[in-house]
Chain A
Amino acid sequence: MKLIVFFGIAIQSMLANKLRSVLTMLGMIIGVGAVIILMSVGAGLQNMITSTFEELGTNLLFVHPSNPEAPGLAALAPGYAINSLTTDDAEAIGRLRSVEAAVPTNENFVRLVVGNDDAVAMMHGSTPGYRQVYGFDMAAGQFISDVNVARRDMVVVLGHNIAEDLFGDANDAVGQMVKIKDKRFTVIGVMAPRGLSSFGFSWDELSVTPITTYQTRLFSQKTPAGEDAVQQMSVQVGNAWTLEEATEEIKNVLRKRHRIGADEDDDFTVISPEQLMGTFETITIALTVFLGLIGSISLLVGSIGIMNIMLVSVTERTREIGLRKAIGAKRRDILLQFLLEAAMLSLSGGAIGLIGAWLITEGISLVDLGGFTLDAVVSPVIVIVAILVSVFIGLVSGIYPAMRAARLNPIDALHYG
């Protein structure tokens, strides 16, 4: 009963100083808003990563060059890793019992020019196995062949969107010329539309050329021994074999081929999408926590703002407090009244921040980030936590001012000012 009355007093006093209340809430609005947006975006990223790796399937392994000297993840960093892998390595892996296909892939962005039109696309230099591993259908023409790879043919297979951009229609593209790095390539096929990869790129804006052509005509990278280097291999593991067994076989054959001694570390890394996902998840979680901490600083500032305003309010209303005590208010009545007021301020700020954050995350989810969207979600859990945290911050910020109010001597308070 009393609580309802105190609730009314709190709302009245907030409304009596509207501008001040809003300014006080601002810290909470920004703090709660920032934390929720960051958490939602983090959750969205997490979902994206998970679905990406689910899409890849469970029978895939990646082989990357690495630097045996480098610590942890740095071993995989481009430029830091030693170019240790070659197409011969890929062929050797492809011959393993446990391996269905091993596809070497080099990649870089290129500009495709047709007359006055041009388009930027991701160029993959690879082998015919690429189509098998990633499961492509052809809309027109054909995929690169072993002959193309052996002869280093100047041929290219285009993603559906790229073909449409440059030639208007996929069927028209086959047989046409495209200039890449001022060299003339013949379009031999167009891949069927496939849509977005949850990796964040569009399969339809890809182009594929024989890896040998890529290495010699487009982007040359050499191993320390002077051979053409391979950036990455995708290995499809046979159904009868586990990823662990395949990993073991791949390691053995590569160590033998690279003449790595028993006490030396690998100059390559075999990693499964699941492991990779784990790594990405660790990074997103760390990022989310870090950004959340930054948002929390805003909450702290908001909390100090509330405490400050509550202290001002207690001072301003000293006479009122004296009167309330004179007509029978106990200490805990006064304490409760001011605590409730602080909690209300904080909760109102938190609620506004919550609504703002929800609108912003909805907006973020609508933004086209180059062919994909980040599905940022404000989950019910986040909403409940935000409300509880807001009330908690209000209570914590309000406790000291409220105690000061409760302790006021009614005689002094009545004669104040």
Chain B
Amino acid sequence: MIELKNVTKVYRMGKVDILALRGVSVTIERGEMMSIVGASGSGKSTLMNMIGFLDTPSEGQYIFDGIDVGELNDNRLAVMRSREIGFVFQDYNLLSRATAVSNVELPLVYAGGTRKRHRALEALERVGLAARANHKPTELSGGEQQRVAIARALVNNPALVLADEPTGNLDSSATAEILEIFQALNKEGITVIMVTHEMDIAARAKRMIRLMDGQIISDEKTGMKK
């Protein structure tokens, strides 16, 4: 599904060029559950943004389902994000003014389609939060907020869920809940990619790649510990 070929990403910071990725090549198959680990500055966020169509390679190629992502314009990238990807962020990024179900509905506003509210409620049910549909984020715990965010990621039935430090703000029991949800989703066939710097969380994935200074230094299968 995902094929990165010798991808390089250069950022210009003032007068200096920063090489965030230097020749990353990786192939990710449909249905994988993978973690990307590395210290801050290792390029793991850049890699995730690129996989999530938020960024395009400076050099090299990113082929998604046969489409060369580097060739796509801004609009097409937005459509790809809308169709293929569900994002989950460390700090949830929920709209504080809107209820849980309205937050979950948000991607459908841009993707279009009918029965938005119904589909949003279904997504909330998948993360076990249907009862809290009409609560605002401030009325929910951190774990619940992250579940709302996951429901939002799922509402468009994406092929791929990208999670950037999804448990970074959570206590251990909420972390366990969230990871279970990801594992359940993966069992349903959704590809899950998590970025984290915590090894024990990364170890919950089936595959782990480590990044350092913009390069992949290891790519290994991990035992599914439960």
Chain A residues proximal to chain B, CB less than 8 Å: 1-2, 5, 12-13, 16, 319-320, 322-331, 333, 410-411, 414
With A326-B52, A328-B78, A328-B81: A2-B109 Cβ-Cβ less than 8 Å: yes
CB pair A328 B79 closer than 8 Å:
yes
Q: What distance in Å separates the Cβ of B26 from its nearest Cβ neighbour in chain A?
A: 20
Contact with A along B76-97 (1 / 0, CB 8 A): 0011011100010100010101
CB–CB A330/B107 < 8 A: no
A337 → B minimal CB distance (Å): 10
Q: Which 7 A-B pairs have the closest CB atoms?
A: A328-B82, A328-B110, A330-B78, A327-B107, A323-B93, A329-B110, A5-B109
Contacts of B25 in A (CB 8 A): none
**Known A319-B93, A327-B81; further 4 A-B contacts with Cβ < 8 A:** A326-B81, A327-B87, A328-B110, A330-B74
Q: A16-B97, A411-B49 are in contact. Are A326 and B54 (CB under 8 A)?
A: yes
* Cβ-neighbour of A328 out of B49, B95, B156 (below 8 A): B156
Would B82 and A327 count as touching, CB distance under 8 A? yes
- Please tell me if the beta carbons of B81 and A331 are within 8 angstroms of each other in the complex: no
Q: Which residues of A contact B107 (CB under 8 A)?
A: 327-328
Given contacts A12-B97, A323-B93, contact A330 B75 (CB under 8 A): yes
Interface size class of B (residues with CB under 8 A): 20 to 34
Q: Which residue of chain B has its CB nearest to the CB of A325?
A: B78
B 137-155 binary contact with A (CB < 8 Å = 1; else 0): 0000000000000001000
Q: Smallest distance from the beta carbon of B39 to chain A beta carbons, Å?
A: 17
Do A328 and B54 have beta carbons less than 8 Å apart? no
B64 to chain A, nearest CB (A): 15
> In the complex, which residue of chain B has the Cβ closest to the Cβ of A2?
B109
A410 to B93, CA, bound (A): 13
- CB of A317, distance to nearest CB on chain B (Å): 9
Known: A5-B109, A331-B75. A320 touches B95 (CB 8 A): yes
Q: How far is the CA of A320 from the CA of B89 in the complex (A)?
A: 13
A328 & B97 in contact (Cβ 8 Å cutoff): no
Q: Give the distance to chain B from A347, nearest Cβ to Cβ, in Å.
A: 21
Measured between beta carbons, the chain B residues less than 8 angstroms from A329 are 78, 110
A170-B107 Cα distance, complex, nearest whole Å: 84
Say whether A328 contacts B74, CB under 8 Å.
no
Chain A residues within an 8 Å CB radius of B83: 328
Residue of chain A at shortest CB distance from B113: A1
- The answer to whether B122 has its CB under 8 Å from any CB of chain A is no
Q: Are A327 and B152 in contact (CB under 8 A)?
A: yes
Assembly CA distance A63 to B83 (angstroms): 84
Q: A319-B93, A323-B93, A327-B107 are in contact. Are A410 and B79 (CB under 8 A)?
A: no
Cα of A410 to Cα of B89 in the assembled complex, Å:
13
Residues of B within 8 A of A327 (CB): 81-82, 87, 106-107, 110, 152
Query: How long is the Cα–Cα vector from A326 to B152 in the complex, in angstroms?
Result: 12
Task: Report the minimal beta-carbon distance from B89 to chain A, rounded to whole angstroms.
Answer: 7
Residues of B near A326 (CB, < 8 A) are 52, 54, 81, 87, 93
Closest-by-CB residue of B relative to A322 is B93
Give, as a whole number of angstroms, the nearest-CB distance from A72 to chain B: 62
Q: Which residues of A contact B78 (CB under 8 A)?
A: 325, 328-331
In whole angstroms, what is the CA distance A101 to B98 when docked? 82
Q: How far is the CB of A86 from chain B (nearest CB, A)?
A: 83
Indicate with 1 or 0, residue by residue over B202-224, a CB within 8 angstroms of chain A CB atoms: 00000000000000000000000
**1/0 contact string of B153-180 vs chain A (CB within 8 Å):** 0001000000000000000000000000
